A = this chain, B = another copy of it.
Amino acid sequence: MDLEAVRTYVAVAEAGQFQKAATDLAITQQAVSKRIAGLERDLGVRLFSRTPRGAEPTVDGQAFLPHARELLRAADRAAASVRPGSRPLRVDVINSRGAASRLMRAFHRAHPGVELDIVMLLDIESAVAALRSGAVDASFRAVAAPGIPLPEELTATRVVDEPLDLLTGPGHALAAARSVRLADLAGHRIWMPGILPGSEWGAYYAALAAEFGLTIESTGPNFGSDALLDTIADTPALATFMGEDTRLVWPATYGLRRVPVTDPVPVYPHSLLQHRDNPHPALPALHAHLAAAAAPAASGAWVPDWVPGWGADRVPGRAR
C-alpha cells in the first residue's frame, strides 16, 4: 500500500471526481487514475464507482475512508515526531517501570493534548549531551551524583522521591516479615543485575551499601525484568529493590513478596533536568503538573527517609 495513493484516494473522495483531485494535487488526471487503479489492485476491491459526472465511493470505499484518514494522520504524527523546531515534547526516563514513567503517564492523562515522546537513554552522560544538543527536552535523572558535574546551561528541579521496597521470593528469610529495618539488611544478598558501577543507580546503591553494610551484587548482564523476577522467586538467598509504586504483572503462583523497608526508608531522588534556554511550550505545563503531583503528599504522616549524602535537599512535601 502506497501512502501517496492513499492520499490521492482521500483527495478524490473529497473532490468527488478524479479531475478536480488531480488539479488539487497538481498532477494529471491520468496519474490520479493510475494511482487509484493501483490502490484498488493492492487492496483487491473497487473503491470508486466511476460515473460520467465523477466518482463516488463504493461501500468498500466508504468503509476504507476513515481508516485512510487515520493512516495519513499517523504519518503526519510520525513525521512531526522528528521535525526539528516544533516537535512533540521529548522526555528521557531512566527506565520503563520507575517513578518517572509513572509521572509521565499521569501527565499524559492530565494533558492529553500535549504530544509526548518518551525515550530511554543509557546513562547520565548521554542524557546531558542530548539535553545540551536539544535532542531531548527534559530528563528524569538523579543529579549531583559524584563525578558528574552539571553543566552551567542545564537546570535541575527535584521532583519526586521514590521509596524502595524489598522484593523476595517465598523461600526468603524475610518473606513473611511485615517490614524490615534498613540496618537489618546487613549481610543479606541484594541482587541488582544490569546496574553499572559508574551510573547513577550504581552510585546510589554504592552509597546505600556503604552506609548500612549491605551486600549488593550487580554482576551479570541484565536479561530483563522477567528474568530478574524469575530468579528472585526461585532463589531464597537473593532479594532485590523495587520502587514502592511499581505494579507487577506477574502470576500470583510465583509467590513474590514485597517487604517495605523502614527506619529510614531508602528513597531514590529523581530530578527533572532541562536546558536553561529550552523554549518548548509544553515544559511549563510539565513543571506545573509535577509540582502539583508532589504537593498533596504533604498531608500524610512524615517518615524518616534516606538519600545519599550527595542527594542535595529533599523534595518539598514528601511523605509516606
Binding site for B on A (CB under 8 A): 1-3, 6, 43-45, 47, 58-60, 62-64, 66-68, 70-71, 74-75, 77-79, 81-84, 87-88, 90, 117, 119-121, 130, 135-136
CB neighbours (8 Å) of A2 from chain B are 2-3
27 contacts between A and B (CB under 8 A): A2-B2, A6-B78, A43-B79, A43-B82, A44-B82, A44-B83, A44-B84, A45-B84, A58-B135, A59-B90, A59-B136, A60-B135, A62-B119, A63-B81, A63-B82, A63-B87, A63-B90, A64-B78, A64-B81, A67-B78, A67-B81, A67-B117, A70-B74, A70-B78, A71-B71, A71-B75, A71-B78
CB neighbours (8 Å) of A135 from chain B are 58-60
CB neighbours (8 Å) of A78 from chain B are 1, 6, 64, 67-68, 70-71
CB neighbours (8 Å) of A62 from chain B are 117, 119-120
CB neighbours (8 Å) of A119 from chain B are 59, 62-63
Please determine whether A74 and B63 come into contact, CB atoms closer than 8 angstroms.
Answer: no
A78 to B58, CA, bound (A): 15
Chain B residue at minimum C-beta to C-beta distance from A121: B59
Q: Which 7 A-B pairs have the closest CB atoms?
A: A67-B78, A63-B117, A62-B119, A59-B135, A74-B74, A71-B74, A60-B82
CB neighbours (8 Å) of A90 from chain B are 59, 63
CB neighbours (8 Å) of A75 from chain B are 1, 71
Partner pick for A77 among B45, B67, B130, B136, CB 8 A cutoff: B67
A64 to B83, CA, bound (A): 10
A49 to B75, CA, bound (A): 23
Least CB distance, A175 to chain B, in whole angstroms = 37
A45 to B66, CA, bound (A): 30
Least CB distance, A70 to chain B, in whole angstroms = 5
Please determine whether B6 and A59 come into contact, CB atoms closer than 8 angstroms.
Answer: no
A98 to B84, CA, bound (A): 44
A288 to B234, CA, bound (A): 47
Please determine whether B44 and A64 come into contact, CB atoms closer than 8 angstroms.
Answer: no
Please determine whether B82 and A45 come into contact, CB atoms closer than 8 angstroms.
Answer: yes
Chain B residue at minimum C-beta to C-beta distance from A58: B135
A130 to B67, CA, bound (A): 20
The verdict on A79 contacting B120 (CB below 8 Å), with A74-B71, A135-B59 known, is: no
A171 to B135, CA, bound (A): 60
CB neighbours (8 Å) of A79 from chain B are 1, 43
A44 to B81, CA, bound (A): 12
Chain B residue at minimum C-beta to C-beta distance from A47: B82
CB neighbours (8 Å) of A64 from chain B are 78, 81-82
A62 to B88, CA, bound (A): 13
- With most chain B CB atoms within 10 A of its CB, the pick from A64, A67, A87, A130 is A67
The verdict on A1 contacting B3 (CB below 8 Å), with A44-B82, A44-B83, A74-B67 known, is: yes
